[in-house]
Structure 1
Amino acid sequence: MDSQETSFSLLMLPWLAHGHISPFLELAKQLAKRNFHVYLCSTPINLSSIEERIVELENQSLSIEIVELHLPSSPELPPHYHTTNGLPIHLQPTLRKAFEMASPSLSNILKTLNPHLFINDVVYQWPSAVASSHNIPVIQFQSSSAAMVSYFSHLLRTPDVEYPFPAVYLRDFELAKMLHILEASTSNGQGSDSEREDSSHFVLIKSSNEIEGKYIDYISSMIKRKVMPVGPIIKDPVRKDENLEVIEWLEKKHHCSSVFVSFGSECFLSKEEMEEIANGLELSNVNFIWVVRFPLGDETMVEDALPKGFLERVGDTGIVIKGWAPQEKILRHSSIGGFVTHCGWNSVLESMEFGVPIIAMPMQFDQPLNARLMVELGVGMEVWRDNSGKLHREEIAKVIREVIVDKRGEAMRRKAKELGEKIRLKGDEEMNGAVEAISQLCQKTKRRSNGHTIISPRLV
């Protein structure tokens, strides 16, 4: 039988959140370009969110296959809730438990595909244990910032020792909120998972030494394993034509005169937050595009969620969009001078990629730490909340005007553009370093290749 050329095969399993599957897909694309065959595994509903991007990959002849992970059936958690996107808060513990119960499904997938390597999300350890039981080596991928990971790793390991980087911190109300979330997770089984031994060989992280070198090194020193940045791995611009009227609206605005306002796909504003942000935008008298989202099944009309008469008062100064907007195209546009964001890590890196200063309005989880990292880097300003965590319209308007109207914004734009260029230049180098380490680990696996010739991954 003639030998057949093939590449190393990798199976990737992100946590069931759009904020996780998207960077996993971008990592898969980078690895496929470098001659790996990648299986990307998730629930059908989660995979449907990236369906159009998968079709584009097929057109590019990239070696990526999707693999469905099936969670146990439950009347309380129908298949359309097998994702965090739009999931009601009270069902989040149920989803976590269902995910852990998918161990047999993952085991069958690993047995069938028999990949050379398993890339697991750092959120859960049980998939790593399943892979190890099949003698498949494991590495982990961290899609959050190194600042966040190092902060919480430090807090969990040495709570009585001061964190060594004072620019990144949580305020009392933020820490209380985070501890409440962690306690809720532990009480519903996630804690037992996090206590399992980590069997990974090393960790990849969606970041760059150019912006987080000291944080990356600190994580490595704590976990006693190599932590390798792979660059920002920003997704390619969406090619669909929806909302072209938004771009046409931007074309009529002056250079750097407008802000883009968006809080991600899984962050939903309270009525009070909506009112303060709306009034802050109106007070600022700055052009804006505001993307508003509601939980799955919530049929609230945008007009009903905004202060009475808001749309009429702002007129052509602002546009409010329900649901989706072409974020990458908007951030790339020369009329955008600032990004009002919750500071999810993907959004932060996109903003830096396009040289747009950040107007930070963190909501939860890692976002306050990401916001303060941006302030430390000189590419953002934070909208300060009061000690109870409430936003105030005057503060929102003040920060927006400082970034868009005042000279301070000009300095931040220069800094953001400079860092964005450095990250782009460093990105391929960092990714190639990770590819070499992955290749070496695959080569160490004592597997018979059944007469196949293994092609060494290529560096781009």
Structure 2
Amino acid sequence: MGTQVTEHGTSNLRVVMFPWLAYGHISPFLYVAKKLADRGFLIYLCSTPINLKSTIKKIPEKYADSIHLIELHLPELPELPPHYHTTNGLPPHLNHTLQKALKMSRPNLSKILKNLKPDLMIYDVLQQWAERVANEQSIPAVRLLTFGAAVFSYFCNLVKNLGVEFPFPGIYLRKIEQVKLGEMLEKSAKDQDPDDEERLVDEYEQIALICTSRTIEAKYIDFLLELSNLKVVPVGPPVQDLITNDADDMELIDWLGSKDENSTVFVSFGSEYFLSKEDMEEVALGLELSNVNFVWVARFPKGEEQNLEDALPKGFLERIGERGRVLDKFAPQLRILNHTSTGRFISHCGWNSVMESIHFGVPIVAMPMHLDQPMNARLIVELGVAVEIVRDDDGKIHREEIAKTLKDVITERIGENLRAKMREISKNLNSTSGEEMDAAAHELIQFCKISTN
């Protein structure tokens, strides 16, 4: 076993990585897999065949010998055929069924571990039961948190310090968000098995890798250390490799190239969140009123696809003409964010999107929807790299608010300030991510040594 971590790595640790079955979780796991492979680790990324089919396209040839994809087969359930063994396109009412099926695959995961005999398992914090599967075979296990430290510390404080206010006033939930969170936690508690419980009160110190950096979340990482016995180890922002040779994207990239520097707004709400008809109308009319250039990814749930002209306000596409592009399919998010014409990003503030925007230095116009997104939005506003489109007391967004915010951040002084701050943070973040991953790799090596002694 290697004991030293250098730029090229000397470790030969064999690691099984086991993410939750969502793209937003697989993507950061793959980022960590590549960075560990760069440091000499041998990686086995374990997921369902349907997820691995799309993952394989994101692994460059140079990792052919160091990152191996391992199929995990879920039990066959009548309501959950193999193409539903992923959250991508999964009808929402089957979410709990998918979680149940994954847990039922425990014997298959156990067999995989028996065959591979890894030195370590890195599992998703949503799959607490996986740690026990590893421990049954005396395999050390650490969790990977695919969200930020501000959010995780907020929830830890909620659970561990009942009634005690979160000590950082910049991170908060509005009333309607508190109601939604309460409903979600209540439903989650009903569905929870004893195996799912987050062991924040462990008798011994455990490592938790987290997809963030001290550059942006130092005080929240430190607060997490106070709250629990977890040794929280940042691995840097989970940004995938930029692929620039996809011919399918050329028409869009050429269109972006015809626009002035920083003049275009990228609008996307993630791969698994879909706007209501009402929200879609307000976003469309807000973009129209703002008079800014834009690329908008307007997706629909699988099985509910619509013609864009029918889904958008009547005559919208004709009126915006060459000022905008509306896509109802996958868009090359990293290429768009990396383009000199892209000046702002209207985002739902999923953690991966936030990290990608910071990485490429694009200020954010935050339009959070649910889960961790509102708190991610407050964090980046606190950092000075975002403004938020504020919803009304009923949780609705309004076209006038969207248009005004966009005009402010594209043409007014506030936009210049955001861009300057984002450039500074982006530079700091990108210069420290290699060091943080070196430190994380070293921690994993030491953890395995201690665990096997």
Question: Which bin holds the TM-score, normalised by the shorter protein?
Answer: over 0.9
CA distance in 2, matches of 1:61, 1:97: 32
What is residue 218 of structure 1 aligned with on the other side?
223
Question: Residue 228 of structure 1 aligns to a residue in which SS?
Answer: strand
Farther off after superposition, 189-198 or 7-16 = 189-198
- Cα contact 1:341–1:359 (8 A) shared by 2: yes
The alpha carbon displacement at 1:309 in A equals 0.5
CA RMSD across the alignment: 1.6
Residue among 94, 101, 107 paired with 2:110: 107
| SS in structure 1 of the partner of residue 167 of structure 2 | coil
| 2:149 paired with 1:146 | yes
- 8 Å Cα contact 1:10/1:119 also seen in 2: yes
The equivalent of 2:388 in structure 1 is 382
1:127 aligns with 2:130: yes
Give the structure 1 partner of residue 351 of structure 2.
345
SS of 1:131's partner is helix
Match of 2:240 among 235, 242, 251: 235
Q: Is the 8 A contact 2:27 2:238 kept in 1?
A: no
Look up the match of 2:289: 283
Pairing 1:262–2:265 present: no
1:432 is aligned to 2:419: no
Give the counterpart letter for 2:241 in structure 1: D
Q: 2:255 aligns with which of 227, 249, 252?
A: 249
TM-score normalised to structure 1 length: 0.93
In the alignment, what sits opposite 2:68? 65
Matched, 1:295 2:306: no
Quote the residue 1:53 is aligned against: 58
Alignment partner of 1:14 out of 5, 19, 27: 19
Residue 159 of structure 1 and its aligned partner are, at CA, apart by 2.8
Partner of 2:33: 28
Q: Distance in 2 between matches of 1:14 and 1:187?
A: 23
Using a 3 Å threshold, how does the CA distance of structure 1 residues 141 and 244 change in structure 2: closer, same or farther? same
Alignment partner of 1:423 is 2:426? no
**Which of these residues, 362, 368, 371, is aligned with residue 365 of structure 1?**
371
2:208 aligned residue: 203
* 8 Å contact from structure 1 (residues 337, 403) kept in 2: no
| SS at structure 2 position matched to 1:111 | helix
For 1:301-320, what aligned pairs fall within 5 Å after superposition?
A: 301-320=307-326
Q: Answer with 196-205 or 217-226: which moved more.
A: 196-205
CA contact (8 A) 2:34 2:63 kept: no
* 1:161 counterpart (159, 164, 184): 164
Change (3 A) 1:281 1:64: same
- Give the counterpart letter for 2:385 in structure 1: V
Distance of 1:176 and 1:292 partners within structure 2: 27
SS at match of 1:242: helix
Q: Distance in 1 between matches of 2:76 and 2:99?
A: 14
Give the counterpart letter for 1:322 in structure 2: D
Equivalent position to 1:94, from 87, 93, 97: 97
- Counterpart Cα distance in 1 of 2:141 and 2:42: 16
Aligned to 1:408: 414
- CA distances 1:283-330 after superposition (whole Å, capped 9, x unpaired): 101000001111122231111110111001111111001111111111
CA contact (8 A) 1:284 1:398 kept: yes
How far the C-alpha of 1:333 sits from its partner, in A, is 1.1
1:458 maps to none
Structure 2: which 5+ residue stretches go unaligned? 1-9
Contact map agreement 1:14 1:20 (CA 8 A) in 2: yes
1:193 matched to which residue of 2?
196
Report 1 or 2 for greater relative contact order, CA contacts < 8 Å, sequence distance ≥ 6: 1
**Structure 1 residues 376-385 or 120-129, which shifts more?**
120-129
Counterpart residue identity of residue 278, structure 1: A
Counterpart code for 1:412? L
Residues 190 and 370 from structure 1, CA distance in 2 versus in 1: closer, same or farther, beyond 3 angstroms? farther
Residue 140 (structure 1) shift: 0.9
Q: Deviations over 1:364-419 (max 9, x none)?
A: 10000000101000000000000110011000111111111111101101111110
SS of 1:50's equivalent in the other structure is helix
What secondary structure is seen at the aligned counterpart in 1 of 2:101? helix
Name the aligned partner's letter for residue 107 of structure 2.
P
Distance 1:315 1:190, change over 3 A: farther
1:245-283 C-alpha deviation (Å, 9 max, x unpaired): 111111111111110000110011110010000000001
SS in 1 for 2:452: coil
Q: CA deviation at 1:446?
A: 3.3
User: Kindly tell me: are residues 436 and 204 of structure 1, through their superposed partners in 2, closer, same or farther at Cα, counting changes over 3 Å?
Assistant: same
Partner of 2:185: 182
Q: SS state of the match for residue 43, structure 2?
A: strand
Q: Deviations over 1:219-256 (max 9, x none)?
A: 12112121011111311112422221111111111111
User: Which one is further off, 180-189 or 272-281?
Assistant: 180-189
In structure 2, the CA distance between the partners of 1:53 and 1:200, relative to structure 1 (3 Å rule), is farther
The alignment status of 1:391 with 2:397, answered yes or no, reads yes
Letter in 2 for 1:75: P
TM-score by length of 2: 0.94
Quote the Cα distance in structure 2 between the aligned partners of 1:117 and 1:201.
13
Equivalent residue of 1:86, what SS?
Answer: coil
Distance in structure 2 (CA, Å) of the matches to 1:45 and 1:61 = 20
Q: CA deviation at 1:200?
A: 7.5
- CA distance in structure 2 between the aligned counterparts of 1:245 and 1:343, rounded to whole angstroms: 27
Letter in 1 for 2:274: F
In the alignment, the residues of structure 2 paired with residue 446 and residue 217 of structure 1 have an alpha-carbon distance, to the nearest angstrom, of: 28
CA-CA distance at 1:188 after TM superposition: 2.2
Which deviations, in whole Å up to 9, do the C-alpha atoms of 1:171-218 show, x marking residues without a partner? Answer: 111121122122222222357512567687201111110100001111
8 Å Cα contact 1:353-1:417 kept in structure 2 = no
CA gap of 1:384–1:6, structure 2 versus 1, over 3 A, is closer
Distance 1:148 1:32 in 2: 28
